[in-house]
């Protein structure tokens, strides 16, 4: 599935709180996947759950790490262990696994500075920590050694995207597709198409990614959740719900699928059902994205005390992530802006992040921060950068519409808000009603304000 169907376009990684594609990189790095039955005396057994893989690798390394005749196998097992730690961090939401992964990759690299799998592992770790320049550096070092490694190319493409290097990312993704059209490459093609506004084509590519994934694996379930998110973002709640349910079939009680179903219920106005699903998704793994979403649903039901409890928990979790090297400044800035907290500080963080990672996402947050701090002229300049690739995203259009309205540009504001509601009338529990009210004040199209969601009942 070449990118050239329309044009070679860049990748938009949906890095909410953990870089989404890190799991695809680490799964590819683990050479033991698919080894079949393994004699523990030869290589570690990497079948079974991530916990079983970690236990097998740890046991094998304790027995053989000082055996001079097995140093090649030891190096591979050490990288595999680091990759398993990264996967466990993704599954558990516990960033404490990141230092363990880093130690494993560094140990392998100390034994062999040209171990491209260890370099790629460090790159994947940097992606998960939102240290994108460092991720690109590790990825390029690995690519110089193994230019046709799909795992390495995945690290490079994701880092290029988060740094706003969209043309370079497009070329890297195309190379991935040419080498191996599989779940990892199809998923990146999907994001590339989504970024440039080709939503039906993005859905097609993500569907192929899900079909290419092995059944019952977390990576396949994750891909089905991304497919559901694409459907949700176009207002097709029925298709979104089906995709999330398929993800739950792959991995029962999969938290990302539960959160997806919660979004659907919230969009339908079934707030109690949404609350129950979000609470189930966050009970064992309090991922900030879903904690915030739960708080927003509480806010929509005017349960303000419960909402504030969730928002306070975000601050605690953010400190835990920061202690383990994860940079959430852009995400926390957006959270603060959406909830009218620490606005000057959020603007300072957004400015810094836009310099460090000049992606359209960072420009959107910067524009929103400038708007919230009363500088609508500068906000519109940043928004023009956020919109430059033709992305079709309801929240992006909503931000653009309010900024234009602030500047008295009624026609432009009306156009953006009509696009918001035509694309996804229930795009946000915080802002959907405000979009409708503002559009009505501006004399917007009744077709936009009255559009019903697919399968909304």
CATH of the domain at 109: 1.25.40.10
Over residues 319-338, mean pLDDT: 92
284 in a structural domain: no
Give the end of a domain, one of 167, 189, 212.
212
Model pLDDT, residue 48 = 74
Provide the number of structural domains found in the chain: 2
Instruction: Give alpha helix (H) positions in 163-254.
Output: 166-179, 183-195, 199-212, 218-233, 237-250
316 in a structural domain: no
Over residues 390-415, mean pLDDT: 97
For the cut 60, the answer to whether the pLDDT of residue 1 exceeds it is no
For the cut 60, the answer to whether the pLDDT of residue 320 exceeds it is yes
Model pLDDT, residue 11 = 29
3-state secondary structure of 454: strand
Domain that holds residue 74: 1-212
Model pLDDT, residue 90 = 83
Least confident of 31-35, 62-66, 247-251: 31-35
220 in a structural domain: no
For the cut 50, the answer to whether the pLDDT of residue 94 exceeds it is yes
3-state secondary structure of 375: coil
Over residues 266-288, mean pLDDT: 93
Model pLDDT, residue 25 = 53
Tell me the per-residue pLDDT of 159-196, one tens digit each, with 9 for 90 and over: 999 999 999 999 999 999 999 999 999 999 999 999 99
245 in a structural domain: no
12 in a structural domain: yes
Give the end of a domain, one of 178, 212, 246.
212
260 in a structural domain: no
For the cut 90, the answer to whether the pLDDT of residue 362 exceeds it is yes
For the cut 70, the answer to whether the pLDDT of residue 368 exceeds it is yes
Instruction: Return the DSSP state at 236.
Output: B
Over residues 431-453, mean pLDDT: 80
3-state secondary structure of 344: helix
Over residues 60-64, mean pLDDT: 93
Model pLDDT, residue 18 = 36
- Separation of alpha carbons 355 and 77, rounded Å: 38
For the cut 70, the answer to whether the pLDDT of residue 439 exceeds it is yes
- Separation of alpha carbons 397 and 404, rounded Å: 10
Provide the percentage of residues in the chain whose pLDDT is more than 70.
87
Model pLDDT, residue 284 = 76
Model pLDDT, residue 449 = 55
Q: In this structure, are 192 and 43 located in the same domain?
A: yes
- Band the pLDDT of 455: cuts 50, 70, 90: low
Paired tokens of 417: 């808000």
Q: In this structure, are 54 and 191 located in the same domain?
A: yes
58 in a structural domain: yes
Model pLDDT, residue 44 = 67
75 in a structural domain: yes
For the cut 60, the answer to whether the pLDDT of residue 38 exceeds it is no
Which has the higher per-residue pLDDT, 154 or 451? 154
Least confident of 186-190, 193-197, 305-309, 317-321: 317-321
Question: How far is C-alpha 384 from the chain's CA centre?
Answer: 23
Give the end of a domain, one of 181, 212, 243.
212
Q: Where is 426: in which H helix or E strand?
A: none
CA distances from 419 to 296, 436, 441 (A): 23, 11, 16
Provide the percentage of residues in the chain whose pLDDT is more than 90.
78
């Amino acid at each position: 599935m070449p990118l050239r169907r329309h044009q070679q376009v860049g990748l938009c990684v949906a890095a909410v709180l953990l870089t989404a594609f890190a799991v695809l990189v680490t799964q590819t790095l683990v050479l033991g996947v698919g080894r079949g039955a393994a004699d523990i005396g030869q290589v570690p057994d990497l079948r079974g759950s991530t916990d079983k893989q970690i236990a097998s690798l740890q046991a094998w390394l304790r027995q053989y790490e000082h055996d001079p005749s097995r140093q090649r196998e030891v190096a591979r097992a050490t990288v595999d262990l680091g990759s398993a730690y990264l996967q466990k961090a993704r599954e558990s939401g516990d960033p404490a696994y990141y230092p363990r992964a880093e130690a494993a990759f560094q140990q392998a690299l100390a034994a062999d500075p040209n171990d491209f799998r260890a370099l790629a592992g460090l790159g994947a770790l940097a992606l998960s920590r939102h240290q994108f320049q460092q991720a690109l550096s590790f990825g390029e070092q690995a690519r110089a050694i193994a230019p046709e490694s799909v795992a390495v190319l995945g690290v490079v493409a994701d880092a290029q995207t988060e740094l706003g290097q969209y043309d370079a990312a497009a070329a890297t993704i195309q190379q991935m597709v040419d080498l191996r059209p599989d779940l990892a490459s199809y998923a990146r093609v999907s994001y590339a198409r989504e970024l440039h506004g080709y939503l039906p084509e993005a859905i097609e590519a993500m569907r192929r990614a899900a079909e290419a994934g092995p059944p019952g694996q977390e990576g396949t379930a994750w891909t089905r959740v991304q497919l559901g998110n694409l459907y949700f973002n176009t207002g097709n709640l029925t298709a979104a719900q089906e995709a999330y349910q398929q993800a739950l079939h792959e991995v029962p009680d999969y938290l990302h699928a539960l959160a997806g179903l919660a979004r659907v219920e919230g969009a339908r106005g079934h707030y109690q059902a949404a609350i129950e699903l979000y609470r189930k998704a966050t009970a064992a793994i309090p991922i900030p994205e879903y904690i915030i979403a739960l708080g927003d649903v509480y806010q929509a039901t005017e349960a303000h005390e419960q909402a504030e409890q969730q928002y306070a928990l975000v601050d605690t979790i953010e400190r835990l992530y920061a202690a383990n090297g994860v940079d959430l400044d852009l995400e926390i800035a957006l959270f603060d802006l959406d909830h009218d907290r620490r606005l000057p500080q959020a603007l300072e963080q957004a400015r810094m992040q836009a310099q460090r990672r000049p992606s359209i996402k960072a420009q959107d947050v910067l524009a929103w921060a400038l708007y919230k701090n009363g500088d609508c002229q500068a906000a519109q300049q940043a928004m023009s950068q956020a919109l430059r690739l033709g992305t079709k995203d309801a929240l992006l259009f909503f931000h653009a519409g309010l900024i234009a309205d602030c500047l008295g540009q009624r026609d432009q504001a009306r156009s953006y808000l009509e696009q918001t509601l035509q694309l996804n009338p229930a795009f946000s529990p915080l802002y959907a009603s405000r979009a409708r009210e503002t559009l009505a004040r501006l004399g917007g199209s009744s077709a936009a304000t009255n559009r019903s969601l697919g399968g909304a009942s």
